[in-house]
Each structure stands twice: as C-alpha cells, then as structure tokens.
Amino acid sequence: MWSLFMVVLPIVLGAQALRLYETLGVSKVLGPTTPDGCFLVDRENNDPAGSIILPVEDLVHYRSGILLGGAGGVLLGERFSPESRPLGYIVAVDARGGGGSGSGNGSDKDDGVEDNGDNNTPVVRKLKMSKFPADTHFLPHGIYYSKASERLYVVNHAGVSSVGTRVEVFDVTRNGDDLPELTWRLAVGGKDLFANMALNAVVEGQGDEIYVTQWQSTAVPAGGGMHPKSISEIVGRIVHLGQTFMMMPGNQGVYRCTFDSKSPSNPATSCRRESWGYMAANGITATPDLSRIYVADPVAHKIFSYARDPADGTLDYLSNETISTPHAPDNVHYDEETGELHTGTIPRIVEFADLHARASGTFQVFSQSKPGSRYDTVEQRVVHDASLLDEFSACMPLAGPNKRWSVCGSPIADGLLVCPAS
C-alpha cells in the first residue's frame, strides 16, 4: 500500500504542477500587439492639466456613444485595504464628439472646439453622485446599468471601518447633455451580510432582484491581503491562496438577493446562495430577457451559462453551453446589439501574481456562428503588452460619430486604454 502511494503521489503532484503551469500561462506566447494607434486616456476631460483618472476596473454600456466605469483601484484596495485608497467615483466615457480635440494622451491641448468627429477621441468625465452617504467610503468594483429599471448597481468595498462590502443602487436620469445623473437610492448588504471585499460583480434580475458574485473564499484582512494580522486573517489568506493556486472549487459563487426599493432606509434584503463551488466567481452578465446568465471564472478559464427560472429566480447550470476561454476572463458583458460576450482577460496570470511585473491583457470577444447556438467563435480584438496599461479587467466597444473604438480598463493602473477598432 505504501509503495503504491509513493508511486501515485509523484504522478498526481506532477499532473497538478503541469496544470498550474498551463493555467498561469508561464510559457504562453501572445500574438503581435494590436492595433497601432492605441493610447492612454488618463486625465479628466482629456485635459493635460486635469486630475488623474483612477483605475477603472469595470465598464458597462450606458447608451449610444457612452460607457460608464467604476474608478478607484480595487486591486490596490484588496492588497492594502479599501481605506488606503482615495475616494472613488463613476466616470462616463463619451465618444459622441464635441468634447474637445485633445488626443487623450496629453500631446494636444483640449481647446473645447468641436470638430467633425473624425478625430474626436473618447472623453472621460467624472459623474456626481447625489445623496450618497457622506460617511461611507467608495471603492467601486463591478458595476451594472439596467435599461429596464434605469438603475446603476455598484459593488462597493467601503472597508471594515465603514459599512463593509455592499451593493450601492443609484437611480439614473439624463441631464441636458444626455449624460447620466446619479442619485443614490439604497444599499444591499454590508458587513453583517458579506465578508470584507468578498464580492466582485453584479447584474440585475427581475425588479428588485440582483445576482452578485463572490470571488474571495474568505474575508480579506482589514488591513488588506498583504497585511494579515490576526491568526484568523493569516489562516484565511492561506486557505484562499492555497485553494486558488491548487485550482480547487471553494467557497465562491453567486448570491441571489432581493430587496424592497420602496423602503430605501430598510430595504429588507434577503440573500441566498444560488450557485456555488467556483474556483473564483468573477464577472457576471445577463441577456436582456434574463433567459441566460453568464459567470466568468478566471482560474478555471471558463464562462459558465445558466438558465434562469422566471418564477423564483433559480439558476439551472447548462453544462453544454460552458465556454472554455483561451485566456483568464475577468469581467464579462453581453452586447445587446450583436449578442457577443465581451471580456477583459489576463493571458499570463503569472504576471498578475508577480507584484513587480506588468501584466499583458487582451480584449476577448465570443460570438455565435448561428444565432441561438452556443458560443463557438473567439476573437482577440486587442492584444496589449502592458506598455501603456498594466492588466486588463474589462473591455468594451464604443462607437463615435465616425469612428469605433475598443476601450479597456484595469483594476490597478490609472486611466483607460483606447484603441481604434475596425
């Protein structure tokens, strides 16, 4: 028996090492970086004298020519605590033209003069958040905009010294420039319900219903993942990192939460575990009719598909629709116009794990060869070597009056990468 164990053990460890080597992308060779003409937009209003735009971890489509993003630097908050980060905010990425003719990289002065749109680059504008609690820190993670309810949902890591991790709900209206105006309505969750920094992304269900992913198997230490102090925090980090790098299913998954939006001071939140046992439940998105909900797992290199029961919100796993991804997918978004799934990816996770390295990224797009079929076609729309932006977490297409763009954000690097699209 002992001799058999000694034979089997090296085989198992060798197989696991090979699996980890492939997952981390140690030997992965990317294609040529594409396309030429990419640049970094890292100043408010594209003004070289404007304030730096904090890292934008997630992006969502708001309306034609406008994306919304959550700026704050969530990965730095995870490493060193949310309270160590500046107050975050929501940005609008506006490609409609007329926002100035600056290049976005500081090489041309923004003179505020409209041109014909041919050379307009996306302009990043900070949005005000009316009625947001003054005593609550704001470090946005995943965000979701619903056309049906005209609400913006934001996963917020306020820190254990504040309200903890919860989902902020904003009512969205349009101002005279058709830009969104945000009015805080209520919050779902908090430190009595969710572990510190455990949540990742959110999507709206039907009415006062949301689905939110948990990517951390244990609570992040109060002082950040780099600074566990108590025995329980140290053990928690060992468990989380060990489970992740052993690529084992763990205490990660999807919550279904309901609340009463008519009683914002006491929304009567109720949450249940809906789908559990991921390696790292990360981005989440849904089709407009809510017939499908997709969840990205970057460690597993998969996007999982679920059918939602309209009667009770239960999710039914559809194994035949699981998408295997060439690179680790972070946030994922469903494109209503094309039916595509858009993801920002980390091709070489080993670069992400190395705190002193810059991580390359790709804008990965999945499509269906036939409408209604499974996603069977993948395109690397942007391949970037991290020279301008360190690590991709979300990428989205953006159409201006006469030009199309690919826009990518990062959980750790200031600004947004903007690339011309065909």
The band of 231, judged by pLDDT with boundaries at 50, 70 and 90, is very high
User: What's the mean pLDDT when you consider all of the chain?
Assistant: 86
Which parts of 265-362 fold into alpha helices (H)? 349-353
Task: Judge whether 218 lies within some domain.
Answer: yes
Determine, yes or no, domain membership for 51: yes
Residue 237 belongs to domain with CATH number: 2.120.10.30
Tally of structural domains, the chain: 1
Does the residue 393 lie in any domain?
Answer: yes
- Confirm whether 144 is domain-assigned: yes
Task: For residue range 299-332, list pLDDT tens digits in order.
Answer: 999 999 999 999 999 999 999 999 999 999 999 9
Residues with Cβ < 8 Å from 301, sequence gap 6 or more?
23, 324, 325, 326, 327, 328, 329
For residue 193, tell me if it sits in a domain. Answer: yes
Q: Is the peptide bond before 264 cis (omega within 30 degrees of 0)?
A: no
pLDDT in tens, 247-279: 788 889 999 999 999 988 888 889 999 999 999
The CA distance from 413 to 417, in Å, is 10
Which pLDDT score is estimated for 369? 86
User: Would residue 59 count as lying in a domain?
Assistant: yes
Q: What is the pLDDT of residue 107?
A: 34
Quote the domain boundaries for residue 254.
20-421
105 pLDDT higher than 50: no
Which of 278, 194, 192 lies closest to 240 in space, CA to CA? 278
pLDDT of 99 above 80: no
Specify if 3 maps to a domain. Answer: no
pLDDT digits (tens, 9 = 90+) for 334-367: 999 999 999 999 886 666 655 566 888 999 999 9
Both tokens of 150, joined, read 């005209």
Name residue 93's amino acid: V
Q: Tell me, yes or no, whether 10 lies in a domain.
A: no
pLDDT of residue 22: 56
pLDDT higher for 174 or 29? 174
pLDDT value of residue 245: 72
User: In 224-376, at which residue ranges do the beta strands (DSSP E only) sit?
Assistant: 253-258, 270-276, 284-286, 292-297, 302-308, 315-317, 323-324, 328-334, 341-346, 361-367
